[in-house]
Amino acid sequence: MSKIRIMLLMLVSLLLVVTFVSSSASGEEVLVYAAFDEPTLRAITDDFTASTGINVKWIQGGAGELFTRIRAEAGRPGADVFLGGSIIYHSLLAEEGLLAIAEAPNAAAIPAKFKDPEGYWFGWYVAPWGYVINTKLLAKELPGVPEPKNWEDILDPVWQGHVLSGHPATCGGGYDFIISQIFRYKRLASLFGFEDPLAAGEKAAWSWFETFEKNVTVFNTACPETIALIAQGQGIIGLSWANDILVWIQKGYPIKLIVPPDCPYAAGGLSMIKGGPNPGTAAEFVNFVLSPESQAINAKAYRWPLNPEVSPPEGAPSWESFTPVMYDLKWAGTNKDRLLDEWDKRIGR
Amino acid sequence: MRINCALRPFDLQRLVTILLIFLLIIFVLFPVFRILLYPKLKDYMIMLSHPGSIRAIKHSFFIVPLSTLTVLCLGYIFAYAQHYTNMPGKKIFKFLALLPILSPPFIIALSWIMLFGPHGFITNFLGIRWNIFGWRGLWMVQSIAFFPYAYLLITGVLEGIDSNLEFAAGNLGAKGLRTFWSITLPLSSPGLVNAALMVAIYVFADFGNPILIAGGWSVLPTEIYRRVIGYNDLKGAAALCAVLLVPTLILFLAARKGLSSRSYVTITGSAIQTEKPLVGGITKWLLFGFCSFFSLLILLVYGTLAVGAFTETWGINWSFTLKYWRVLRGSSGLSNSLLLALLAGLGASFFSLFASCFIYKRRFVGKQFWDFITLLPTAIPGIFLGIGFLLAFNTPPFVLTGGLVIMVLSLLVWNIPLAYQANIAILEQIGPEIEEAALNLGASPMRVFGNITVPLLRTSLLSSFTMGFLRAATNLSIIIFLISPGRTTATVQILASVRYAELGIAAVLATVLFALALLIVGIMYFLTKKSMDMFVGVR
């Protein structure tokens, strides 16, 4: 009997310690849904906490995943701020009335094209999407096969079983990838004088994906997963965000980045969720993320800052060297559900 | 039980029973019916004709028999080696065999990719070529992850076999494995079927392994998850949950029927020979070889993680680093996991204590039904429970979402059957005589409960707390639907780290979680007088 008492005592004290530890950081806080990498997120939030005393709590997820969550929680959001993820998602949320206007003086420096005129959302960095290639493995497994330089090379059956990509329903880049292929073909279709170039572009894009899919082993839930797997040699070639790929190159893996012409790109977004539990601290946090200090931290993770005062990432190609496909942000947002259904029907994985 | 017959109609006992039934209605029946009734008939039709769900259903029905059979074979060989040989290192084998229970199952998938991926560590070393993503990898990983459960269940079965028959066969001249084929295997087959049914339920509900290693090869739980996070299609997801519940419920009912028709051979009290006839010679050493190989594999899986937690960059830069351990500073995931696991473990133990005394031991109208409902969460896949709680408690009258409360409650409900069964197993054995004696001597029923029943259930309470703690700390499938910022768990953080390609961070969190689980088990091991009975709940 005494042993039970001892045990109960131990448990209760352990419980108290745990509760104490987890509640000791109480005080002002801001809750964040972050489609973002942990180290950069931590660096930015540590800075924010140091200068304001406000604690930041977050959960990480794929942009599509968090977007779905905010939509599902409509009216009773579990967080104050949505950080990262393409502005497609942010603009769509604004359209659906799920965001709040954030007063952010630091947003003044952001080019008008990348922010909402009313202040519902802000783009704060851009990044292209490209190939990550395990060069060592390529030489070993497919000697003599040239690296893909464009969007047609990857359709070669020689790549079958060697390609990894991201799932468009959960990984933001996977959806941007679809959009960029549609608008790439749209441009071609209008050059050839199609009556409805967008519809023709979409049709061509789907047939492109249906061929592409045959070479793909896995569509990962989150985009960075792809890079890790390629870096470890679980596949030869992957598709993911250039900034994340550059971080992984820095770690010393035998991988390289190729950004083909007509690459998909996304402006990473930031917005305040309507009805969040801490609107005051949320606005402060949004303003801080847009500040040159935080953008400089972010540039260390090879994201190209949209604040022109901040210098571009060192050791990365210049933004001007890319030729991203321009797309209609609004179309990309309003057609999202339909395109994902289409993906489900045609690709279905 | 007789003791209650003479009591007044409106007494405290009845009140407790009613309270328990009320809780079961809100936290078990309500979420289940919320899911079943949430989709309209139309949504069911859409989901059942959807190519993605058809594929997932096919995959589930392919992998479950495959993994279950493999797990059973492995578990049988291991348990047989433990009981029928005097091979060296039995204790170490037993310890290693149980390790996978202590870690989130998907940790094995993570480590497996690092070791056996198409160009992983071992694969490269051996120069083999295979595609680990898809069903092959899932099959291998599930075989390790669910192996301990089969091992424990089969150990129970083998212990229940009266060895007199085996000795008799040996005396009559049966040589080598003849006794095994003609006596041991036939005698253990009813229990084996039961073990198969239970393991199959676990495999059906498995979410963590397929999400990491099966890639695009979706099974029902991963397809349900994708419907929710990718498409926000809660109706479709709920419909698929209902589909998933059909096989698990059938398996559960079959297992229950098997149990009730089987006599409790171990607890009849009549003399039963538990010393086993030992096999020797080449069979013994073959079994020894098998156990060594499998134990080494398990060691390798966890060793890989521990090394990964201190390695600068896995596979490239093997230099030692502590930088990933910084994640523990100010991370709420681990402390939340610990808190949830403690509360869910304690809660389930307390609830089941009351349930076994005030539902199982009392006689009242509908008792069998409520007994069944108490055990029902066994049949409910984690993913079903998670979505069920999400749907049931995010609208009035019960708004609980967005806090730790809902997470504790869901894990608690999930753990109730284990604890309840463990208590019942003890109550079946001790009989009502002691309690009757106390009543006759004038003790009030509540005093009997506190002074006699609770102390008698000591071991089962400790063991069910341990198992409940471990299951809650390593759960992902329920929790993943209920997290919010600052209210996340180590398992969810590990999954996110893997997704964000932060293998060092994932390895640190996994190692610490594993060490904490080991610590708790260690404490319990000494509290239960160094017996492994804490795992009895699994049986």
Q: Which residues of A touch B408 (CB under 8 A)?
A: none
pLDDT at B525: 79
Q: Tell me, yes or no, whether B159 lies in a domain.
A: yes
A-B contacts (CB, under 8 Å): 171
CATH of A128-265+325-346, one of 3.40.190.10, 1.20.1300.10, 3.60.20.10, 3.40.50.620: 3.40.190.10
Q: Tell me, yes or no, whether B404 lies in a domain.
A: yes
Inter-chain CB proximity A222 and B338 less than 8 Å? no
CA distance A142 to chain B (A): 14
Same domain, B28 and B45: no
Q: Which residue of B has its CA nearest to A6?
A: B527
Percent of chain B that is helix, strand, coil (3-state, to 5) = 75, 0, 20
Same domain, B182 and B240: yes
pLDDT at A3: 57
Q: Which residue of A has its CA nearest to B211?
A: A221
Same domain, B72 and B17: no
Structural domain including B47 reads 41-309
The CATH number of whichever domain residue B245 belongs to comes to 1.10.3720.10
Tell me the mean pLDDT in the region A165-180. 91
Q: What is the pLDDT of residues A187-236, one digit of tens each?
A: 999 999 899 999 999 999 999 999 999 999 888 888 888 998 898 787 89
Q: Which residues of A touch B505 (CB under 8 A)?
A: 38
Inter-chain CB proximity A1 and B455 less than 8 Å? yes
Say if CB A266 and CB A179 are below 8 A apart: no
Inter-chain CB proximity A18 and B119 less than 8 Å? no
Tell me the mean pLDDT in the region B354-363. 87
Based on DSSP, count helices (H) and strands (E) in chain A, helices before strands. Answer: 13, 11
Q: What is the pLDDT of residues B508-521, one digit of tens each?
A: 998 899 888 888 88
Of B216, B314, B342, the CB nearest to A349: B216
Q: What is the pLDDT of residues B138-161, one digit of tens each?
A: 999 999 999 999 998 898 888 888
Same domain, B244 and B364: no
Q: Tell me, yes or no, whether B256 lies in a domain.
A: yes
Inter-chain CB proximity A169 and B133 less than 8 Å? no
pLDDT at B274: 65
Last residue of a domain, one of B309, B339, B374: B309
Q: Which residues of B touch A54 (CB under 8 A)?
A: none
Inter-chain CB proximity A57 and B455 less than 8 Å? no
Look at strands A121-134 and A237-241 and give their pairing.
Answer: antiparallel
Q: What is the pTM of this model?
A: 0.85
Q: Round to whole Å and give the CA distance between A74 and A98.
A: 7
Q: Round to whole Å and give the CA distance between A162 and B24.
A: 51
Inter-chain CB proximity A233 and B313 less than 8 Å? no
Domain A28-126+266-317: homologous superfamily in CATH: Periplasmic binding protein-like II (3.40.190.10)
> With a CB-CB cutoff of 8 Å, which residues 231-260 of chain B face chain A?
231-232, 234
Q: What is the pLDDT of residues A81-105, one digit of tens each?
A: 999 999 999 999 999 999 999 999 9
Q: Round to whole Å and give the CA distance between A313 and A241.
A: 15
For B291-318, letters b (16+ CB in 10 Å) and e give bbebbeebeebbebbbebbbbebbbbee
The answer to whether residue B132 scores a pLDDT higher than 90 is: no
Same domain, B252 and B380: no
Inter-chain CB proximity A233 and B117 less than 8 Å? yes
Q: Which residues of A touch B117 (CB under 8 A)?
A: 229, 232-234
pLDDT at B267: 39
pLDDT at A21: 54
Q: Tell me, yes or no, whether B432 lies in a domain.
A: yes
Inter-chain CB proximity A7 and B462 less than 8 Å? yes
Q: Which residues of B touch A10 (CB under 8 A)?
A: 523
The tally of CA atoms less than 13 A away on the side-chain side of residue B150 is: 28
Q: Which residues of A touch B492 (CB under 8 A)?
A: 59
Same domain, B371 and B226: no
**Mean pLDDT computed over every residue of chain B:** 84
Same domain, B152 and B97: yes
Tell me the mean pLDDT in the region A304-320. 89
Q: What is the pLDDT of residues B346-355, one digit of tens each?
A: 999 999 999 9
The answer to whether residue B177 scores a pLDDT higher than 80 is: no
Inter-chain CB proximity B501 and A10 less than 8 Å? no
Residue B103's alpha-carbon distances to A6, B64, B198, B412, in angstroms, are: 27, 21, 20, 18
Q: Which residue of B has its CA nearest to A18?
A: B335
* Per-domain boundaries in chain A: 28-126+266-317, 128-265+325-346
Q: Tell me, yes or no, whether B316 lies in a domain.
A: no
Based on DSSP, count helices (H) and strands (E) in chain B, helices before strands. Answer: 26, 4
Same domain, B79 and B194: yes
Residue B199's alpha-carbon distances to B56, B172, B233, B492, in angstroms, are: 19, 36, 30, 24
Any A CB within 8 A of B58 CB:
no
CA distance A258 to chain B (A): 20
Q: Which residue has the higher pLDDT, A16 or B300?
A: B300
Q: What is the pLDDT of residues B408-449, one digit of tens each?
A: 999 999 999 989 988 888 887 777 788 888 888 888 877 888
Any A CB within 8 A of B289 CB:
no
> With a CB-CB cutoff of 8 Å, which residues 106-125 of chain B face chain A?
113-114, 117-120, 124
Last residue of a domain, one of B261, B276, B309: B309
* Interface residue of A22, A170, A253 to substitute, partner B, most B CBs within 10 Å: A22
Same domain, B342 and B491: yes
Same domain, B28 and B127: no
Same domain, B14 and B65: no
Q: Which residues of A touch B485 (CB under 8 A)?
A: 31-33, 57-59, 78-79
Tell me if residue B242 falls in helix, strand or coil: helix
Give burial (CB, 10 Å; 0-12/13-18/19+) of A150: exposed
Percent of chain A that is helix, strand, coil (3-state, to 5) = 50, 20, 30
Counted domains in chain B: 2
Last residue of a domain, one of B282, B309, B336: B309
CA distance B420 to chain A (A): 19
Say if CB A307 and CB A126 are below 8 A apart: no
Bridge partners for A129 per DSSP: A241
Same domain, B148 and B201: yes
Tell me the mean pLDDT in the region A274-283. 92
Inter-chain CB proximity A170 and B229 less than 8 Å? yes
Inter-chain CB proximity B118 and A22 less than 8 Å? no
Of A3, A19, A167, the CB nearest to B527: A3
Confidence category of residue A1, pLDDT binned at 50, 70, 90: very low
Q: Which residues of A touch B51 (CB under 8 A)?
A: 344-345, 348
Q: Which residue of B has its CA nearest to A161?
A: B131
Q: Which residue of A has its CA nearest to B523?
A: A7
CA triplet B38, B39, B41: central angle to 5 degrees?
Answer: 135
Q: Which residue has the higher pLDDT, A281 or B462?
A: A281
Q: Which residues of A touch B342 (CB under 8 A)?
A: 11, 14-15, 18
* Interface residue of A19, A132, A234, A253 to substitute, partner B, most B CBs within 10 Å: A234
pLDDT at A61: 82
Q: Which residue of B has its CA nearest to A56?
A: B486
Closest CA to B183 of B172, B193, B194, B197: B172
Q: What is the pLDDT of residues B240-291, one digit of tens each?
A: 999 999 999 999 999 888 766 544 444 344 455 667 778 878 888 999 999 9
Most confident range (mean pLDDT) of A124-128, B395-399, B510-514 is: A124-128
Q: Tell me, yes or no, whether B320 lies in a domain.
A: no
Place of tokens 């029923």: B445
Say if CB A301 and CB A247 are below 8 A apart: yes
Two domains, one topology: A28-126+266-317 and A128-265+325-346: yes
Q: Which residue of B has its CA nearest to A230?
A: B119
Tell me the mean pLDDT in the region B484-501. 84
Of A65, A227, A344, the CB nearest to B52: A344
